[in-house]
């Protein structure tokens, strides 16, 4: 039996995870494992998972942690032999900026949604009307006809009112996706919310089984790595090279060509090379898939309709004597449209207290605070230089925090299109695209399909790797 050839287009965490699966996962490759080549347009692997040296530490320029109670990331790290480098989150909770002041978020929220009106009693930044809307949902809930899908905004606005929807819930749910709850599909982004709404009655009561009646979870809610989450793809790439995987960086794929009359069904072109392949895994943003494969099937061309939101992250190092954080919690959420004394509304959507969150970042002399800006409909940050953006964000932080003096160092990281948006119909589009790809020996993976978090992207890549391995074995036989 001859070895099959599999080419992976895209060297982010999903593409690397696909290669790990194709080369035997935890057991390693054998004599029948396919030849695997990864082609990445960037000069480095990892996509948005990246680290840098700043203020005497290694910090992440993308996600700084991941859900620990989803298994995919923890399992992969264990297979790489790095379980001893996992670090549990060192603090919990957060605050929200409402009516010109910080208010501690109550515990027991489900992605920002309360499960009882009592949780809101201590949130003084909410109006009496908002608290009454929550009480009404428990006693006389608003009737809502929910079909196969609805936007998150439609559900929470109808059931809990506009203030809770936009001032309390959207900062968390929308912030995770860098999107707007009035556009995001509940089925694709927050399926438990859709199920709760479909039950009728109280939305908050219907959400309680998602936590209250489930078996009690153990272990931390979030993890990081002591060398930063951005070290994960670098370690994975190094071990893949040890397995014989060819990794080519700084090289863009220009075309995927079908060659039904040749020895291989695919040829993968770059500006200077052509690689034959029995199977192709495409682990790129959805619009790139549509550009490379859209002419072969309308279901693949439709992937061009998936928009992506950009964002920027500004990390500050401030002397401890020059900054005062909220008393507890790992950060601050800021509702969209929050008034600003300067031009327009606030740009900051959230603050993260990095060295309170992760013990390995803690030093005696300074504090690390990360500011997040950007949503699908807020691209003001793209029209500013790094210096202009930093000064604007610092000005807002002087309002959001009790004290933030003009003594700091900073680093800016821009992600122009990092988060795909899951709108109504996303699930059908993805299902059809994966099915169309499978008929031509292509597997799709990445954060455009199966979720935007790190565990979801790893799981997406490993699924695609298994699919590609089955296709490759069929060819070899």
pLDDT recorded at residue 134? 96
User: Facing residues of 369 across strands?
Assistant: 316, 353
Say if residue 213's pLDDT is above 60: no
Say if residue 476's pLDDT is above 80: no
pLDDT band at 477; cut points 50, 70, 90 = low
Please say whether the beta carbons of 307 and 379 come within 8 A: no
Please say whether the beta carbons of 151 and 182 come within 8 A: yes
Q: How far is CA 34 from CA 7, 202, 263, 300, in A?
A: 10, 53, 15, 26
pLDDT band at 21; cut points 50, 70, 90 = very high
**Out of 103-107, 153-157, 299-303, 339-343, which region has the weakest mean confidence (pLDDT)?**
339-343
pLDDT recorded at residue 418? 82
pLDDT band at 305; cut points 50, 70, 90 = very high
- How much is the average pLDDT of 98-120? 94
60-78 b/e (C-beta count within 10 Å ≥ 16 → b): bbbbbbbbbebebbbbbbe
pLDDT digits (tens, 9 = 90+) for 457-472: 999 999 999 999 999 9
- How much is the average pLDDT of 55-59? 97
Name the one residue in this structure whose structure tokens are 């790095």: 82
pLDDT digits (tens, 9 = 90+) for 38-56: 999 999 999 999 999 999 9
Q: What domains appear along the chain, each with residue ranges and CATH number? A: 5-47+232-306+422-476 (3.50.50.60), 108-210 (1.10.3110.10), 308-419 (3.90.660.20)
* Three-state secondary structure call for residue 274: strand
Which helix (H) or strand (E) covers residue 153, if one does? helix 152-160
- Cα 452 to chain centroid distance, Å, stands at 4
**Out of 215-229, 353-367, 394-408, 461-475, which region has the weakest mean confidence (pLDDT)?**
215-229
**Out of 2-16, 250-264, 345-359, which region has the weakest mean confidence (pLDDT)?**
250-264
Q: pTM score, two decimals?
A: 0.95
Please say whether the beta carbons of 289 and 300 come within 8 A: yes
- How much is the average pLDDT of 236-254? 98
Which DSSP category does 401 fall into?
A: S
- How much is the average pLDDT of 262-289? 95
Find the angle CA(12)-CA(15)-CA(18) to the nearest 5 degrees: 145
Where are the extended beta strands (E) located within 158-307? 222-225, 246-249, 255-258, 266-269, 274-277, 279-282
pLDDT recorded at residue 263? 85
pLDDT recorded at residue 216? 52
Residue of 285, 361, 334 whose CA lies nearest to 60: 361
Tell me the C-alpha distance between 17 and 135, whole Å: 46
pLDDT recorded at residue 219? 74
Where are the extended beta strands (E) located within 34-100? 35-40, 51-54, 57-60, 66-67, 86-88, 95-98
* Three-state secondary structure call for residue 200: coil
Which helix (H) or strand (E) covers residue 59, if one does? strand 57-60
Give the percent of the chain with pLDDT over 90.
90
Tell me the C-alpha distance between 232 and 307, whole Å: 27
Residue of 442, 109, 94 whose CA lies nearest to 284: 442
- How much is the average pLDDT of 94-101? 95
Hey, what are 467's tokens?
Answer: 């699919």
pLDDT digits (tens, 9 = 90+) for 65-78: 999 989 999 999 99
Burial class (CB in 10 A: 0-12, 13-18, 19+), 114: buried
Q: What are phi and psi of 118, to 5 degrees?
A: -65, -25
Q: Which residue has the higher pLDDT, 22 or 209?
A: 22
Tell me the C-alpha distance between 292 and 309, whole Å: 21
pLDDT recorded at residue 92? 86
**Out of 3-17, 128-142, 213-227, 416-430, which region has the weakest mean confidence (pLDDT)?**
213-227
Hey, what are 397's tokens?
Answer: 């932080």
Q: How far is CA 378 from CA 172, 313, 385, 416, in A?
A: 16, 14, 16, 12
* Three-state secondary structure call for residue 156: helix
pLDDT recorded at residue 218? 66
pLDDT recorded at residue 3? 87
């Amino acid at each position: 039996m001859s070895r099959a050839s599999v080419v992976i287009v895209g060297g982010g965490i999903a593409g690397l995870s696909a290669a790990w699966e194709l080369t035997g996962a935890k057991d390693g490759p054998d004599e029948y494992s396919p030849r695997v080549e990864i082609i990445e347009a960037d000069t480095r692997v990892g996509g948005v998972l990246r680290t840098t040296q700043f203020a005497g530490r290694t910090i992440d320029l993308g996600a700084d942690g991941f859900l620990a109670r989803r298994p995919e990331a923890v399992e992969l790290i264990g297979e790489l032999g790095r379980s001893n480098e996992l670090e549990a989150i060192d603090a919990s909770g957060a605050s929200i900026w409402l009516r010109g002041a910080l208010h501690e978020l109550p515990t027991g929220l489900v992605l920002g949604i309360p499960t009882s009106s009592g949780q809101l009693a201590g949130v003084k930044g909410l109006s009496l009307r908002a608290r009454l809307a929550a009480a009404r949902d428990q006693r006389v809930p608003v009737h809502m006809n929910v079909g196969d899908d609805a936007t998150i905004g439609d559900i929470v606005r109808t059931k809990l009112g506009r203030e809770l929807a936009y001032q309390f819930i959207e900062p968390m749910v929308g912030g995770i996706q860098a999107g707007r709850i009035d556009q995001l599909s509940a089925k694709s982004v927050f399926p438990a919310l859709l199920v709760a709404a479909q039950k009728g009655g109280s939305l908050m009561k219907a959400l309680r089984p998602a936590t209250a009646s489930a078996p009690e979870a153990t272990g931390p809610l979030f993890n990081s790595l002591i060398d930063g989450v951005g070290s994960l793809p670098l370690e994975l790439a190094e071990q893949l090279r040890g397995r014989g995987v060819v990794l080519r960086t700084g090289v863009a794929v220009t075309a995927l060509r079908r060659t039904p009359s040749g020895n291989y069904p695919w040829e993968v072109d770059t500006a200077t090379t052509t690689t034959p392949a029995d199977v192709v895994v495409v682990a790129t943003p959805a619009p790139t898939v549509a550009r490379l494969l859209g002419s072969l099937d309308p279901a693949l061309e439709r992937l061009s309709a998936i928009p992506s939101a950009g964002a920027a992250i500004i990390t500050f190092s401030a002397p401890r004597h020059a900054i005062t954080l909220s008393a507890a919690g790992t950060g601050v959420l800021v509702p969209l449209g929050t008034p600003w004394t300067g031009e327009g509304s606030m740009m900051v959507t959230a603050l993260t207290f990095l060295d309170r969150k992760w013990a390995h970042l803690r030093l005696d002399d300074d504090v690390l605070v990360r500011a997040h800006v950007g949503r699908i409909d807020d691209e003001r940050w793209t029209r500013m230089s790094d210096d202009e953006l930093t000064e604007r964000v610092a000005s807002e932080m002087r309002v959001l925090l009790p004290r933030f003096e003009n003594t700091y160092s900073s680093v800016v990281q821009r992600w122009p299109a990092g988060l795909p948006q899951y709108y109504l119909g996303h699930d059908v589009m993805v299902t059809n695209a994966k099915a169309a790809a499978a008929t031509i020996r292509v597997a799709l993976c990445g954060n455009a399909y199966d979720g935007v978090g790190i565990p979801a992207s790893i799981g997406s890549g490993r699924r695609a790797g298994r699919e590609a391995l089955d296709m490759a074995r069929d060819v070899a036989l």
